[in-house]
Amino acid sequence: MEIRSKNKKSIWLSWQIAIQEESYQQISSELHDNACQTILLAIINLQRIEKNNPAIKVSDTIELLEETLREIHHLSRSLNGELILSIGLHAALKKQLDRMRDVCGMQTSFVIQGKQQHLSEEMELIIYRIVQEALNNVLKHAKATRVDIVMNFLEQELCVKVIDNGRGFNQRSGKVESAGLRNMNFRAESLHGKLKIDSTPNQGCCLTLQIPCLKTNL
């Protein structure tokens, strides 16, 4: 029994490390793709300030720096687990969808079905991280115009679906597995749940998370 316990702890630790490393990579990618690019444009504007229309250059530079500040502010808030816990899972997910709508012009909806049950703070945070990763994948890869989140409280489990109308993919190609997907699976398993993905080329994608919610999961 002691050996099994040590093995479980070792596996759990390796999962935590993998998830942490993936999070660091996401932070690096977000900063590189957004903040660094807008800062570079601001620098170029300042370097050209002595040329024509200096007032416009200054104005443009201020706008770029303000955009960078907003990007960093959003990244900081999305990584802050305490903020997520303070506003609750539903509000946090709605904020994510609102941002996708406002920034990307994407149609979104958030539907709650069934009789809502209490979820522990740990469960809410882990569910949020799984859905957040799914939404990030929609933004990066799906080329979707619509994404929907459905939370269905069943008698003995919670079923969460993230559905998009994007380009989808061939699940038989063997290219579905990724570090992000592995991390989502690790998190689902930590709640004694399971993750399923259904997708067909040009017909969108549906990610389903199923977890028991009538007993202690952590």
Tens of pLDDT, residue by residue over 74-98, are 666 666 666 677 888 999 899 889 8
* Strand 146-153, strand 157-164: pairing: antiparallel
- What pLDDT shows up at residue 62? 77
| Gyration radius of the chain's alpha carbons | 20
Q: Which residues form the domain of 8? A: 1-79
Pair (140, 210) in one structural domain: yes
C-alpha span between 15 and 24 (Å, rounded): 14
pLDDT tens digit sequence for 12-45: 555 665 666 566 666 666 665 556 656 766 776 6
59 and 149 co-located in one domain: no
Of 17-21, 46-50, 150-154, 167-171, the poorest mean pLDDT is in: 17-21
- Regarding whether 59 and 23 lie in a shared domain, the answer is yes
Alpha-carbon distance 180 to 209, whole Å? 15
Residue 84 lies in a domain: no
Does 143 lie in the same domain as 40?
Answer: no
Domain count, the chain: 2
CATH number at residue 127: 3.30.565.10
Please tell me the predicted confidence (pLDDT) of residue 216. 44
Give residue 204's Cα distance to chain centre.
Answer: 18
| 30 in the same domain as 133 | no
**Pair 20, 71 in one domain:** yes
b/e code 90-121 from CB counts within 10 Å (16+ = b): eebbebbbebbeeeeebebeeeeeeeeeebee
Do 119 and 186 belong to one domain? yes
* 203 shares a domain with 150: yes
Same domain for 132 and 36 = no
Residue 192 located in a structural domain: yes
Q: Is the pTM of this model over 0.85?
A: no
Residue 91 lies in a domain: no
Q: Are residues 132 and 178 in the same domain?
A: yes
